[in-house]
Structure 1
Amino acid sequence: MKLIYRIALRLSAVLIPLMALWATLFYFMTVDEINDEADDALADYSELIIVRMLAGRELPPLNSGSNNSYSITPVTREYADSKSHIEYYDAEVYIPEKEETEPARILSTIFCDNDDNYYELKVSMPTFEKEDLVRTILFWIVLLYLVLLLTLIGVTTWIFHRSMRPLYALLHWLDNFTLGKTNTPVPDDTHITEFHKLNVAAQEAANRSAMLFERQKQFIGNASHELQTPLAILGNRIEWLLDNTELNEKQVEELFKMQRSLGHIVRLNKTLLLLTKIENGQFPESTEVDVAALIREQAPLYNEIYESRQIDCRIDLPDRFVVSMNDSLASTLITNLLKNAYVHTEPGHSIDIALHNRTLTIANDGNTPLDADHIFDRFYQGNKKEGSTGLGLALVKAVCRYYNLDIEYRYTDGRHCFAVTWPQK
């Protein structure tokens, strides 16, 4: 998940309880303010009624057009002493004019006349529907939440992208950074201290990696080159022993084992030397290579080599597909892909080779997928095969990297599939 999306989700999560708390406070403050105003009006109205009653004057009519109502009930002294002097509360009252019950604010008070007669006065005033108020507040809170959220996300996204430009530039540079090739310096067009330190650290790490990579290449190349002569001498001496000495069966068997092991080491050494030469760019010359013709030439050879395994190879190629490559590297690319398919296909199964839209696809049957993250690493072997050096696909990857070809491995429908795509001219 991108950082900006995670920020948006966290903003949304934080705003929900904040808006809920704000809505709750707003509701109770609104209700309290309305009740205060209603209580003041009820107090004034009740005072008017009490004054008129004590003065013997005419009381206000019950229906004055405002739906306000009151009732005066004689009570005992004991009842008056048990009640609060004044009390406010909410209740439902029936309004005859409307023939319905509505919520009202009620004031209840006790007073006495000059003859010590006690009365209970209840004054009611229609008020608001709390459920309607809750629905209204909820609607506007949700609307405010959405508007505020969209505004915050928009502003945050704009600020985030402007502030994070140096980071995006560094990430883009890291995506394009390739060991063994000439890379541009880390972009450092920023005045932010943290980003500047990050760019410096990235450049230093890249320089160290490039230096170590060059040392590794030089070591492998030198070691492989220096090993050629002693390996050749060992091979010649084993052949001399087999041809010029009288050996018993056990000695001959051991010498043949040594010869096979030495042959494996020689192949490994030559492959490492070839990898080093590719990475050092020692194949500058390029010619027009017909990849389709190269496949038609090599596929029958592997069919013949692995004839005993009865592998069905189906080929779907155009008449010609000409690319500009070193002919030796083109052969290395094709032969290693073909050999990998034949070696890892079970007897009686099939291989499909197709070339369409500048993409070469070689698919073979397989029981389990390989590790796509490491399959092109040196010495990686998903299923160990006798005589394999574990460098075939590393060679394929090196050639593709040398010519900027896209190579992909995928496992679908029980088949291993390698696809190499040549870029448009």
Structure 2
Amino acid sequence: MNLLNHTLKYLAFALFGILSVWAVIFYINMLDEVYDSLDDGLDNYKMLIIEKAHADRSTLHKTEFAEGNYEIREISRESAKNMKDIHKDTLMYMPFEEDMEPVRLLTTAFKLDKKYYELKVISSMVEEDDLIEDLFFALIWLYIALLASILLVNNFLLKKVWKPFYKLVDQLKNFRLGKHQTFNAEDTNVKEFKVLNETVTSLVLHALETYNSQKQFIENASHELQTPIAISINRLELLAEKNELTEANLETIGQVIQTLERLTRLNRSLLLLSKIENGQFSDTETVSVNAVVSQLKEEFADFAEYKGVVISMEEKSGLNVVMQKDLAMMLISNLMKNAIVHNHTNGALDVEIGEDYFKISNSGAAAPLDPAKIFRRFHKESGDKNNTGLGLAIVKAIVDLYGFRIRYDFDGKHSMEVFVKNPE
């Protein structure tokens, strides 16, 4: 739900409450005005009837409401003294409606020729149930009309006001670090949007500056580290080729070379991991997972044979993904290599490819791994010194980069299942 319609939702509830309260107040005030008007009319009519009775004594014989709207009957002096003008609602049978209808009744007393009379005057009034029904439907239509008007204003007028905001959101949505993009916020006279544009532009420029500095540092640091490490390894190898060293010295040199080679692998892995997380692999293409697995199966054949591991591949469907091809190779290669390294002799490595997933399962330790730790950097389940502990961390970084999902399961075999987004 967009911002305008989200605002409309709360406005609709507010309008409903306001109109409901207004309807009750309007109904009470309207009834009060109706009663005041009716009572004033009855009082005026009372005076006319009394004047008529003074002028025409036959008026005193009108003892029923049959053909008029008043009746007169004689009462005692005591009753007349205790009687005050009373206005009240009552029901009276109406022949035309053939039903009991509400009327307003005035009861009063007057004196004529030393006799006392009770006068009742009626006036037809609006039916409250009909009034409530008419008011209810009027409010419903008013409510609908107001909502429709606000919706039209939102979508045709306010949308223009919010145009700079939506343009800014679109630019942020499509903005990617590592791509040569310009970020230009739209000019606006609205103070809040102007401040937002300036703040976001400043933040983006700062992020670009930081990103470029970090990228340059990583590339420089990697290059500067690789060179002295390579030189050190070459010098140690030359030293080991001389016959002047003892067996113990040669063994020590071998250990140092092994450590330096591990440092080289670690440096390369950290550089790759940093590039992935910084989104520096921006080029994408459609990659066949089936073809990549088949190629890696052949490449790992000798390594698997040495470890006594049998690799099998089950293709339930062809699976294509849109991503950088080298990262696709790295993703599947790390998973397959990890499955071979942590396997046991005469073990198995099974690759299953489905419509929107691929799963790599392997035999190995009888206990499950900790899913909360296996993707952490430098986490190792084994004591292998040649293992950098970054293989699965790189896998997780690639998966996150492309919005895939990876899941670890253990059912006697260790399984890594990657769910991908198929290209449209």
TM-score (norm 2): 0.73
Q: Say whether 1:184 aligns with 2:182.
A: yes
User: Following the alignment from structure 1 to structure 2, what is the Cα–Cα distance between the partners of residues 265 and 422?
Assistant: 38
User: Following the alignment from structure 2 to structure 1, what is the Cα–Cα distance between the partners of residues 52 and 3?
Assistant: 73
Deviations 1:237-287 (CA, angstroms, capped at 9, x unpaired): 887789954559xx979986x776654432121234456789898999x99
Q: How many residue pairs get matched?
A: 393
Deviation at 1:15, TM superposition (A): 0.4
Paired amino acid for 2:395: L
Corresponding residue number in structure 2 for 1:362: 358
User: Following the alignment from structure 1 to structure 2, what is the Cα–Cα distance between the partners of residues 282 and 142?
Assistant: 58
Q: 1:289 to 1:165 in 2, by over 3 A?
A: closer
Q: Is the 8 A contact 2:273 2:394 kept in 1?
A: no
Corresponding residue number in structure 1 for 2:80: 80
User: Following the alignment from structure 2 to structure 1, what is the Cα–Cα distance between the partners of residues 198 and 92?
Assistant: 77
Corresponding residue number in structure 2 for 1:154: 152
Corresponding residue number in structure 2 for 1:41: 41
Q: SS at the partner of 2:138?
A: helix
Deviation at 1:72, TM superposition (A): 2.7
Paired amino acid for 1:205: L
Structure 2 portions without partners, runs of 5+: 363-367, 410-415
Q: 1:100 to 1:56 in 2, by over 3 A?
A: same
Corresponding residue number in structure 1 for 2:226: 228
Corresponding residue number in structure 2 for 1:128: 126
Deviations 1:92-145 (CA, angstroms, capped at 9, x unpaired): 234477664221101111222231x33322222232221121111111111211
Paired amino acid for 1:89: K
Deviation at 1:155, TM superposition (A): 1.0
Q: Is the 8 A contact 2:240 2:253 kept in 1?
A: no
User: Following the alignment from structure 2 to structure 1, what is the Cα–Cα distance between the partners of residues 52 and 148?
Assistant: 60
Q: SS at the partner of 2:332?
A: helix
Q: SS at the partner of 2:353?
A: strand
User: Following the alignment from structure 1 to structure 2, what is the Cα–Cα distance between the partners of residues 157 and 89?
Assistant: 53
Q: SS at the partner of 1:190?
A: coil
Q: 1:61 to 1:365 in 2, by over 3 A?
A: farther
Paired amino acid for 2:123: M
User: Following the alignment from structure 2 to structure 1, what is the Cα–Cα distance between the partners of residues 108 and 252?
Assistant: 121
User: Following the alignment from structure 2 to structure 1, what is the Cα–Cα distance between the partners of residues 144 and 101?
Assistant: 34
User: Following the alignment from structure 2 to structure 1, what is the Cα–Cα distance between the partners of residues 390 and 21?
Assistant: 68
Correspondence for 1:392 among 391, 394, 404:
394
Q: Say whether 1:17 aligns with 2:35.
A: no
User: Following the alignment from structure 1 to structure 2, what is the Cα–Cα distance between the partners of residues 139 and 369?
Assistant: 64
Paired amino acid for 1:393: V
Q: Is the 8 A contact 2:90 2:105 kept in 1?
A: yes
Q: 1:256-405 counterparts in 2 under 5 A? A: 262-273=260-271, 293-302=291-300, 305=303, 312-315=312-315, 330-340=325-335, 343=338, 350-353=350-353, 361-364=357-360, 380=376, 387=387, 388-389=389-390, 392-393=394-395, 396=398
Corresponding residue number in structure 1 for 2:365: none
Corresponding residue number in structure 2 for 1:140: 138
Q: SS at the partner of 1:58?
A: helix
User: Following the alignment from structure 1 to structure 2, what is the Cα–Cα distance between the partners of residues 188 and 21?
Assistant: 43
User: Following the alignment from structure 1 to structure 2, what is the Cα–Cα distance between the partners of residues 30 and 135?
Assistant: 14
Q: 1:264 to 1:13 in 2, by over 3 A?
A: farther
Q: 1:365 to 1:76 in 2, by over 3 A?
A: farther
Deviations 1:33-71 (CA, angstroms, capped at 9, x unpaired): 3323322332233223323334452225845756x3434
Q: SS at the partner of 2:89?
A: strand
Paired amino acid for 1:108: T
Deviation at 1:8, TM superposition (A): 0.7
Deviation at 1:165, TM superposition (A): 0.6
Q: SS at the partner of 1:183?
A: coil
Q: 1:8 to 1:135 in 2, by over 3 A?
A: same
Deviation at 1:22, TM superposition (A): 2.0
Q: SS at the partner of 2:184?
A: coil
Deviations 1:199-249 (CA, angstroms, capped at 9, x unpaired): 23222222211111111111111111121244346656887789954559x
User: Following the alignment from structure 1 to structure 2, what is the Cα–Cα distance between the partners of residues 413 and 229?
Assistant: 38
Q: 1:44 to 1:193 in 2, by over 3 A?
A: closer
Corresponding residue number in structure 1 for 2:50: 50
Paired amino acid for 2:133: R
Corresponding residue number in structure 1 for 2:71: 70
Q: 1:422 to 1:26 in 2, by over 3 A?
A: closer
Correspondence for 2:204 among 203, 206, 211:
206
Q: 1:310 to 1:4 in 2, by over 3 A?
A: farther
Corresponding residue number in structure 1 for 2:417: 416
Deviation at 1:369, TM superposition (A): 12
Q: Is the 8 A contact 2:110 2:118 kept in 1?
A: yes
Deviation at 1:172, TM superposition (A): 0.8
Deviation at 1:298, TM superposition (A): 0.9
Corresponding residue number in structure 2 for 1:112: 111
TM-score (norm 1): 0.73
Paired amino acid for 2:147: L
Superposition CA RMSD, Å: 4.8
Corresponding residue number in structure 2 for 1:404: none
User: Following the alignment from structure 1 to structure 2, what is the Cα–Cα distance between the partners of residues 111 and 287?
Assistant: 105
Paired amino acid for 1:14: A
Deviation at 1:162, TM superposition (A): 0.6
**Identical aligned residues as a percent:** 28
Q: Is the 8 A contact 1:75 1:120 kept in 2?
A: no
Deviation at 1:409, TM superposition (A): 1.1
Corresponding residue number in structure 1 for 2:167: 169
Q: Is the 8 A contact 2:168 2:185 kept in 1?
A: yes
Paired amino acid for 2:164: P
Q: 1:334 to 1:188 in 2, by over 3 A?
A: same
Corresponding residue number in structure 2 for 1:101: 100
Q: SS at the partner of 1:408?
A: coil
Q: Is the 8 A contact 2:63 2:72 kept in 1?
A: no
User: Following the alignment from structure 2 to structure 1, what is the Cα–Cα distance between the partners of residues 397 and 408?
Assistant: 27
User: Following the alignment from structure 1 to structure 2, what is the Cα–Cα distance between the partners of residues 87 and 289?
Assistant: 94
User: Following the alignment from structure 1 to structure 2, what is the Cα–Cα distance between the partners of residues 20 and 282?
Assistant: 59
